[in-house]
Amino acid sequence: MSQAPDAPEGEVTESEMAPAPRGDRSPAGLIGWTIFGSRWIQAPLYIGLIVAQAIYVVMFWKELVHIITDFDHLDEAKVMLAVLGLVDVVMIANLLIMVIIGGYETFVSRIKVDNHPDQPEWLSHVNANVLKVKLAMAIVGISSIHLLKTFIEYGHKEDLSESVVMWQVLIHLTFVASAVALACIDRFLSPRHDIGP
């Protein structure tokens, strides 16, 4: 039997990632491999998120053009709100990138970008727990932007009552508490490395 050519050093071959079920033809083995292969059903979801990100890019540029064209008619508070809206769009786009890349890498298949100069720093050690903490922190950031916009608008909008502001603050604090709890759980479950003197 001829051997397949050796893969470059350090590179994981496809057979090592998902070896074909040669020996186990039992129903349990076939079911197991079917379940394992079903992870590819998620791939179109990540492609859909890429399309959603493209929509956010269009929204960003529409809002930016609106700010530039109406610049003479905008006061400082309106410019600040518009810029916060742009920051909000960027943070949501960052959240999408984390979900797309981290989720695909964690749950579908490895992305072979090792040693690529543009590889995100966090991708080298991504796992489900790290991804959850990063997503929670991103949600806290987005919530902070929305809360800041609410504080700026408070007193200028008639439909913005104290109860609405209170609920937004409580929701934001819930996001913060959840993010802290996830970070603590991740730190507790992470393997500890002894640090020398």
Q: Is 31 part of any domain?
A: no
Q: Is residue 12 part of a domain?
A: no
Residue 11 domain-assigned (yes or no): no
Compute the average pLDDT of residues 106-134.
71
**Full DSSP string of 28-62:** HHHHHHHHHHGGGGGHHHHHHHHHHHHHHHHHHHH
**Residue appearing with tokens 């410019």:** 79
Q: For the chain, give the mean pLDDT.
A: 77
Give yes or no for a contact between 80 and 145, defined as CB atoms under 8 angstroms apart.
no
* pLDDT tens digits along 127-185: 677 777 778 888 888 888 888 888 877 766 667 778 888 888 999 999 899 888 888 88
Instruction: List the domain range (segments joined by +) for residue 71.
Output: 39-189
Query: pLDDT at position 48, please?
Result: 92
Look at residue 119 and give its three-state secondary structure: coil
Please report whether residue 19 resides in a domain.
no
- Please tell me the total count of domains within the chain: 1
Confidence of residue 24 (pLDDT cuts 50, 70, 90): low
- The per-residue pLDDT for 194 is 45
pTM of the model: 0.63
Reply yes or no on whether the pLDDT at 188 is more than 50: yes
Residue 46 belongs to a domain? yes
Residue 56 lies inside a defined structural domain of this protein:
yes
Instruction: State the CB neighbour count (10 A cutoff) for residue 159.
Output: 6
Quick check: is 4 in a domain? no
- Taking Cα atoms as reference points, which of 79, 56, 58, 63 lies closest to residue 142? 56
Widest pairwise Cα distance in the chain: 79
Q: What is the pLDDT of residue 83?
A: 86
Separation of alpha carbons 65 and 71, rounded Å: 10
